[in-house]
Amino acid sequence: MPPGSAQPTASGDSGNTDEQDYAGTPRPDAMFPVLDDGQLAVLSDVGKEWDQSAAAPSVWRSALPVDPALGTYPAPDDFRPARLTRFVPVAGRGGQLPPIETTSSAEALPTAAGRFGQRLKRALFGPPLDASAIAVERMRKLIALPVLSADALSSVAYGPEAMLAVLILAGTTGLSYSLPVGSAIVFLMLAVGVSYRQTIRAYPQGGGSYIVASQNLGRIPGLMAAAGLLIDYIMTVAVSISSGVASITSAYPSLRSATVLIGVVVIIVLLGGNLRGVRQAGTLFAIPTYAFIAAIGALVIAGLVDAAGRDFHPVPAHHLAATQAVTVFLVLRAFSSGATAMTGIEAISNAVPSFKRVEWRNARITLSWMIALLISMFAGILVITKLSGVVPESNQTMLSQLAHVDFGNGSAYLFVQAATAAVLLMAANTSYNDFPRVLFLMAGDEQAPRSFLHIGDRLTFNTGIVLLSVASALIYVGLNGNTASLLPLYAVGVFLAFTLSQTGMVVHWRRHHDQPHWRRSLFLNATGAVLSGIVFVIAGATKFTSGAWIALVLMVLIVVAALRIRRYYETAKQELMLLPGETGGPATVTVPVAPRRQRPGSGGPATALQRDWNAEAAQHPDQVDALTIVPVATLDRPAMRALSYAAALGQPVLALHISPTDEEAQRFSRYWRTWGDHLPLEIMVTPHRAYVAPLVNYIWTLHRQRPDLTLTVTVPEIVDRHLWHTPLHERVVPRLRHALQALPGVVVTSVPFHLGQ
């Protein structure tokens, strides 16, 4: 496991510990930091300073004016029951624990809009799920095989075609290279498959490329693998959907003009389904893959039977004019295009814990089956394509052409197309599980924004799901849903991740001499790594100008962003950690704490008491020296309430009036005396009728005088019942809040006054 995600779970009471170990399993408390012993010691120190506080612990200890445990109060007369039932007390009261538990209806904001939004959300995405529903479904091999191999097997729908589409550039001569290049890819599949068998044994808790590369190679290779994977998952969605749509439009050519629209609708459906949180496994999910295997099997067998009738003489194709010569570059490009048929091969090694026991053994058997199927289907398609003389066309997929040749136009043809579209949809859906999980792991290591740690109320990683949808939709629409344009962006990410993951395994075996057969495993992983690395270089080089550069640039950007995010979080974490107390800590305080009451009662401000620190350094109440500033425009109820509120806090208060003219200033001053001049007042005349900026500058200057002082700007704010009344008031408070946000030590308190209550 990568460093950051290995958080001690102090509770440790969940029965299924091995499931908890599944890398990438959502943890609902992932966003809540765990304090280590050092931090706990500091916390205790800080607490001791509170014990000696000159402030008012008696007030803190006195009874609260409300019952914090709720519910023991009779409902007021106007208290609507629908609202009351929002809080269901689940356990005894009085103590602080066990805590109050809210019901799901408490998750709607207590406004009409909030309730409507909640109801809409429920209707679209279903009721919220308890965290206890997090569980990894254990799969039999017969279910695991189709579920986990949909991504890999569906690749044969576009891989062979992509390869032939390159070779055909060299005409009939070029096409004659199809079987040699195909054999090289089959060898590669075998080598990578065997290599991943080693990973499964070494990482029974799930060995995704990010984890393996991070643990064995270090942070940056880990991030490179993660970047490759993220691009890969985005491209899997875009390519699978474009290929799936192509298999539909091959059968119904009239839909071809709607390619982009259909794809976007499919992405929206996937987004909705995944926000709802679809089940990952089950018989239903097995059907498309088995149907696709059956369809390709039938296609190949029918093609071979057909060819047997011709004594295996290929149907002579029209002579194809060569637009390019057969060069090494062309052959390599065909090879890297065909290698897209290998995408998704790593899925089983990620998901070892979801197998029945003994997990790693079952996973290896399933992987072997998958590789066998993948090779058979890939090779079968290439062979019957050769025999039937079919060549790639832009209007129809090659699978569709082959199905037409074998089965005509009947229901068997439609079955092939439907099964292809279905398995590609499944493959796209796979990315919706894997993409957010990689980001969750990265966020756990503080290498991605923390919001990817957040688990929605349907136990889904909503941020990641939305990001994947947006990214894949952008790429899909940007390239017009054209599979041929999308594929060049695809292979580089996959093979970078493969290479790093398998290189990581090599390091792993070198570190674990104690494991049985480590030498053999090391050799097999090394072979896989070298071959994958070669393919990565070939893919990057041969497709660089046709799109691979985009993928490469994106990967670099992701790695750089992740490193910067990590640095940011590291710095922020240091800054946010509690400081040791005044006795043991750094000399943040040079002047002894002086309670407010000791201040000289007359004349100028108490410079002598000024502390050479920032007001935000305060960690206990005696360190908070406060001054409340109340900007007052007129002496109406909201202003009087704000003044009362400020005065009731028992801190020094300074009222501030900003006036456009001397006359108005004098008038206001008279009003202030009429009221009784209870609080110090300062009037500022701004001859140019600006209000917010002079106020901010004034407060800023006060802050400069005493940076150790917490200035609380208490602003009366009129709140309207209706949104459309907003333009009828000057909205000063939001502007003030925004402008004051840059100033340290300034607290903005808005004291609302509700109209029409």
CB of residue 481 to a second copy, shortest distance in Å: 29
749 belongs to the binding site for a second copy (CB under 8 A): yes
Tokens representing 166 are 């390159």
449 belongs to the binding site for a second copy (CB under 8 A): yes
Shortest CA distance to 502 belongs to which of 523, 536, 528, 520?
Answer: 528
Per-residue contact track with a second copy, 682 to 701, x per CB under 8 A? Answer: xxxxxxxxx-xxx-xxx-xx
CA distances from 735 to 683, 684, 749 (A): 20, 19, 13
CA quadruple 546, 548, 551, 554: dihedral positive or negative?
Answer: negative
- Among residues 34, 308, 553, 557, the one that binds a second copy under rule CB under 8 A: 34
18 three-state secondary structure: helix
Nearer to a second copy, 187 or 675 (CB): 675
Angle at 266 between CA 265 and CA 272, to 5 degrees: 90
Nearer to a second copy, 261 or 682 (CB): 682
Per-residue contact track with a second copy, 383 to 422, x per CB under 8 A? Answer: ----------------------------------------
- Would you list the DSSP string of 437-453? HHHHHHHHTTSS-GGGG
CB of residue 69 to a second copy, shortest distance in Å: 7
The amino acid sitting at 405 is: V
104 belongs to the binding site for a second copy (CB under 8 A): yes
Nearer to a second copy, 284 or 648 (CB): 648
Q: Kindly identify the residues of this chain, within the stretch 482-521, that bind a second copy according to CB under 8 A.
A: none
Shortest CA distance to 659 belongs to which of 630, 636, 691, 628?
Answer: 691
102 belongs to the binding site for a second copy (CB under 8 A): yes
- Among residues 6, 38, 85, 99, the one that binds a second copy under rule CB under 8 A: 99
Binding segment (CB under 8 A) for a second copy, from list 290-298, 393-401, 540-548, 745-753: 745-753
Angle at 354 between CA 351 and CA 355, to 5 degrees: 105
Residue 736 exposure: Cα atoms within 13 Å on the Cβ side: 26
CA 710 to chain centre: 37
End-to-end CA, the chain:
56
CB of residue 85 to a second copy, shortest distance in Å: 11
The amino acid sitting at 621 is: P
Q: Kindly identify the residues of this chain, within the stretch 602-661, that bind a second copy according to CB under 8 A.
A: 602-606, 609, 614, 616-627, 633-638, 640-641, 644-645, 647-654, 659-661
Nearer to a second copy, 62 or 394 (CB): 62
- Would you list the DSSP string of 252-266? -GGGGGGHHHHHHHH
Per-residue contact track with a second copy, 120 to 159, x per CB under 8 A? Answer: --------xxxx----------------------------
CB 502 within 8 A of CB 528: yes
CA distances from 380 to 8, 147, 209 (A): 51, 22, 30
- Among residues 16, 577, 584, 591, the one that binds a second copy under rule CB under 8 A: 577
CB of residue 617 to a second copy, shortest distance in Å: 8
Nearer to a second copy, 99 or 282 (CB): 99
Q: Which residues, including other chains, have CB under 8 Å from residue 555's CB and lie 6 or more apart?
A: 224, 227, 228, 231, 492, 493, 496
- State how far the Cα of 384 lies from the Cα of 396, in Å rounded to an integer: 17
725 belongs to the binding site for a second copy (CB under 8 A): yes
Binding segment (CB under 8 A) for a second copy, from list 31-39, 203-211, 214-222, 246-254: 31-39
- Among residues 107, 477, 482, 588, the one that binds a second copy under rule CB under 8 A: 107
Binding segment (CB under 8 A) for a second copy, from list 297-305, 373-381, 389-397, 708-716: 708-716
Number of Cβ within a 10 Å radius of residue 151: 27
- Among residues 48, 141, 511, 519, the one that binds a second copy under rule CB under 8 A: 48
- State how far the Cα of 87 lies from the Cα of 71, in Å rounded to an integer: 8
72 belongs to the binding site for a second copy (CB under 8 A): yes
Shortest CA distance to 284 belongs to which of 469, 137, 121?
Answer: 137
Tokens representing 417 are 């197309």
- Among residues 6, 31, 325, 591, the one that binds a second copy under rule CB under 8 A: 31
Nearer to a second copy, 4 or 533 (CB): 4
46 belongs to the binding site for a second copy (CB under 8 A): yes
- Among residues 376, 485, 527, 669, the one that binds a second copy under rule CB under 8 A: 669
Nearer to a second copy, 58 or 254 (CB): 58
CB of residue 219 to a second copy, shortest distance in Å: 18
599 belongs to the binding site for a second copy (CB under 8 A): yes
729 belongs to the binding site for a second copy (CB under 8 A): yes
Nearer to a second copy, 301 or 755 (CB): 755
CB of residue 638 to a second copy, shortest distance in Å: 6
CB 338 within 8 A of CB 193: no
Shortest CA distance to 421 belongs to which of 245, 189, 195?
Answer: 245
CB of residue 591 to a second copy, shortest distance in Å: 13
Shortest CA distance to 262 belongs to which of 247, 235, 276, 242?
Answer: 242
584 belongs to the binding site for a second copy (CB under 8 A): no
- State how far the Cα of 596 lies from the Cα of 652, in Å rounded to an integer: 10
- Among residues 321, 576, 587, 608, the one that binds a second copy under rule CB under 8 A: 576
706 belongs to the binding site for a second copy (CB under 8 A): yes
Burial bucket for residue 630 (CB in 10 Å: 0-12, 13-18, 19+): buried
Binding segment (CB under 8 A) for a second copy, from list 42-50, 180-188, 255-263, 533-541: 42-50
Nearer to a second copy, 172 or 651 (CB): 651
Q: How many residues bind a second copy (CB under 8 A)?
A: 189
CB 618 within 8 A of CB 624: yes
